[in-house]
Structure 1
Amino acid sequence: RRVAAADTTLLILGETGVGKEWLARAIHGEGPRAAGPFVAINCGAIPEGLLESELFGHKAGSFTGAVQDRRGHFETAHGGTLFLDEVGETPRQVQVRLLRVLQERVIQAVGSEREIPVDVRVMAATNRDPEDEIRSGALRQDLYYRLGVVSLTLPPLRDRREDIPALVENYFDIYRARLGRNVLGIDRGAMDALVAHSWPGNVRELINVMERAVLLCNGEEITRADLPEAVTGDHPGVTRSVGASDLFTKPLREARREAAAAFERDYLIHHLEACGGRIAETARRAGVTPRALFDRMQQLGLRKEDFRR
């Protein structure tokens, strides 16, 4: 609560998928800027030549393709919080500009000489060791000290297993409502398997497992059979690769349709995770148009926001 109430910069450390952006949003929501915007940007997902424009904005004609003025994320986050994910992947020249903004509280759009005051709380995150990044020259030491006025380390899910049941129940409730499924709960065997799993993908992996389990469950409770083999350690054989044993009780056409939908959903989840929820890149990998991908995601209950790093 002290961190939320303060208005200092904050650096969140932790492995990929541990929930760094979720924590930043929670801190923003509990702080004095809660009524203002929360703007998140993944510094590692934006091409180096465009990151300055994304952060600080640009003037028309300042570079090829800049046909009109555009505000950057510092301006759109005015009065609220700007979350810089994977800040260690920011190019060095952009780090210099970030440092000036943190010190002077003013920005200059690309191609402009005018200084614009900004009132923004900056939170940043990285899945790398900042000390290693400083030694390698990837991260400026002065920027690290400026960002890390307060640092929080979010441990991986395997090191906080006591949190797993509450997280499982939370996302079970979310996806039961979102997917409109009449599933009443999770049985003991399934919960034991979820708690015992090592969760290499951390909270993001848990979210996807719960969404899949709620979708595939055809009984009143989620059981081990509704969980992926990677979670249970069970190896029921090739014919059961979909993970829903009750398919064998259904007519072939219906079972084939459900199995195909489950595979398609897992396939899209895999590529959405790899692409950080970016539609254009995921569509390219899947060999479909972005519009077709977006439509299919809606049909399968997938949202790009759930895969953003």
Structure 2
Amino acid sequence: MASGHILVVDDEPDIRSLVQDILQDEGYQVSVAENAAAAREVRRQIRPDAILLDIWMPGTDGISLLREWSERGSLSCPVIMISGHGTVETAVEATRLGAYDFVEKPLSLAKLLLTVERALEASRLKRENEGLKRQVPVPLEPVGSSRVMQSLRTQLERLAAHDTWLLLSGEAGSGKESLARWLHEKSARRSGPFITVASGSIARDHAAQTLFGSEETGAVQLGLLEQANGGTLYLDEVAELDAELQLRLSSTLERRALIRCGGREPVGLDVRVIAATAQDLDSLVAAGRFREELFYQLKVVPLAVPALRERVEDVPELLQYYADFFSNRDKLPYRIFPVSVQNRLRNYTWPGNQRELRNLVQRLLILGAAPEVDLAEVEQALSGSAPAARPVALRGEGFDIDYGLPLREAREQFERVYLLRQLQETGGSVGKLAKLVGMERTHLYRKLRDLGVDVKAGARED
């Protein structure tokens, strides 16, 4: 069966009734209007997926109404013009104003249905394309074979079959939005929009209009909540909403209807809500900084998204996954992450979580040239994006050899620790280090650079 809401605007009752019956038989929802004023009122209350608009109507004609919608920027769906005796000039003007197509009276029902179907498909593809342009493309799949990720994936797959609201909690960068998008794509709402509300970035002066839309002198501007109708609303960092917005949002979600700024009548809201936060909402509720009723509305099913340091066994899989992803998407050269690099990154604390790992892989693919990523460039990349690492092998400390490493990589690991300690012994003097370890200075500099030991800042040439 077809799906979508069609608005039929025609002053002839017989045509309105005929088209309504045909479209409803095909599975569409249909609203009708006999003139421009009635059409404005219907559009104030609902957001149609397509409009069938008669050109010749008493009072305001179809072309004038189309121009009104176009100039106000409220033409958010395809408009199919109906004409009994149109002219070339009329067709050109309607096309310039954004009309999708024409159907002529007397109506060919087969052509009408085909035109409506094509218009809805074109509109769907346009929304998907605009959505892709707005977002930074990231992989959607929950990647990782660790026990905690297997459990999370199982829960999400189970939830995809239901329309339950969800509260995702987890540190910044842990991949909450990607999981929400994946859940949306797995759900029955996949053909609907996925709208993100970035709570912390909404300008306070226009926050209400941004979320709830507005009505001024007949002009309707859709807010983010209404744009999500039929799909999923993702509330990113919901704790950043101020108290007034929390109250209004709670009322809207409770009634499943919103009132636009400047509006009087409620507008139905059909969305699945997925909220996310990196903060402790329980503590914020107890402190009176987050509304209790909104908290329990959102927390129908709470899910904790683990930090990357809590599932470090997934790091090798994530490295390969993102290397494949950026190679395919950005045409970057594919690079191998050897065991030594995997081991180093498994033991990194990942303060930026999965987002930091993704950015690290992208940087290494862009800047590196060798087929394999080496430890030196990884250390350099990490030092540029994280707090200074704890010095390795200080005086009096031992050195644990990883016997699972290949000989070459184990040797490189030992050489780095050995040279760092000897450099400390010489007070940072590369000249003294060269004599101590029995290496020619040029070769020593090359060796230190290859091992990722940066001595430029404090090295002395004596």
TM-score by length of 2: 0.48
Contact 2:336–2:371 (CA under 8 A) maintained in structure 1? yes
Partner in structure 1 of residue 192 of structure 2? 36
Contact 1:57–1:72 (CA under 8 A) maintained in structure 2? yes
Whole-Å separation in 2 of the counterparts to 1:158 and 1:61: 54
Whole-Å separation in 2 of the counterparts to 1:84 and 1:33: 17
Contact 1:78–1:118 (CA under 8 A) maintained in structure 2? yes
Partner in structure 2 of residue 101 of structure 1? 252
Read off the aligned partner of 1:57 and give its amino acid letter: G
Once the two structures are superposed, the pairs formed by residues 158-173 of structure 1 within 5 Å of their partners are: 158-173=309-324
Structure 1 pair 229/103, CA: closer, same or farther in 2 (3 Å)? closer
Partner in structure 1 of residue 239 of structure 2? 88
Deviation, 1:229, is 3.6
Once the two structures are superposed, the pairs formed by residues 1-309 of structure 1 within 5 Å of their partners are: 1-60=157-216, 69-227=220-378, 228-230=381-383, 233=389
Whole-Å separation in 2 of the counterparts to 1:55 and 1:204: 27
Whole-Å separation in 2 of the counterparts to 1:140 and 1:3: 25
Contact 2:181–2:194 (CA under 8 A) maintained in structure 1? yes
Aligned residues: 234
Contact 1:10–1:122 (CA under 8 A) maintained in structure 2? yes
Using the TM superposition, name which of 170-179 and 50-59 deviates more. 170-179
Whole-Å separation in 2 of the counterparts to 1:85 and 1:212: 26
Q: What are the ranges of 5 or more consecutive residues in structure 2 without an aligned counterpart?
A: 1-156, 392-415, 421-448, 451-462
Partner in structure 2 of residue 288 of structure 1? none
Which secondary structure state, in structure 1, belongs to the residue aligned with residue 215 of structure 2?
A: coil
Runs of 4+ in 1 over 4 A off after TM superposition: 231-237
Using the TM superposition, name which of 225-234 and 14-23 deviates more. 225-234
Read off the aligned partner of 1:84 and give its amino acid letter: L
Contact 1:184–1:220 (CA under 8 A) maintained in structure 2? yes
Structure 1 pair 138/157, CA: closer, same or farther in 2 (3 Å)? same
Whole-Å separation in 2 of the counterparts to 1:4 and 1:126: 20
Whole-Å separation in 2 of the counterparts to 1:7 and 1:218: 47
Deviation, 1:22, is 0.8
Contact 1:11–1:150 (CA under 8 A) maintained in structure 2? yes
Whole-Å separation in 1 of the counterparts to 2:345 and 2:184: 30
Whole-Å separation in 2 of the counterparts to 1:151 and 1:57: 29
Contact 1:216–1:226 (CA under 8 A) maintained in structure 2? no
Structure 1 pair 19/4, CA: closer, same or farther in 2 (3 Å)? same
Which fold has the larger relative contact order, with Cα–Cα distance below 8 Å and residues 6 or more apart in sequence? 1
Deviation, 1:50, is 1.8
Deviations 1:156-198 (A, max 9, x none): 1101112212211111111223342333421111111111110
Partner in structure 2 of residue 292 of structure 1? none
Quote the sequence identity (%): 36
Read off the aligned partner of 2:366 and give its amino acid letter: L
Say what the alpha-carbon RMSD is for the aligned residues.
Answer: 2.3
Which secondary structure state, in structure 2, belongs to the residue aligned with residue 151 of structure 1?
A: strand
Structure 1 pair 144/221, CA: closer, same or farther in 2 (3 Å)? same
Whole-Å separation in 1 of the counterparts to 2:292 and 2:204: 20
Deviations 1:51-75 (A, max 9, x none): 211111012379xxxxx53101111
Partner in structure 2 of residue 299 of structure 1? none
Structure 1 pair 234/182, CA: closer, same or farther in 2 (3 Å)? farther
- Structure 1 or 2: larger helix share? 1
Structure of larger gyration radius: 2
Q: What are the ranges of 5 or more consecutive residues in structure 1 without an aligned counterpart?
A: 63-67, 238-244, 247-309
Deviation, 1:93, is 1.4
TM-score by length of 1: 0.71
Whole-Å separation in 2 of the counterparts to 1:19 and 1:183: 23
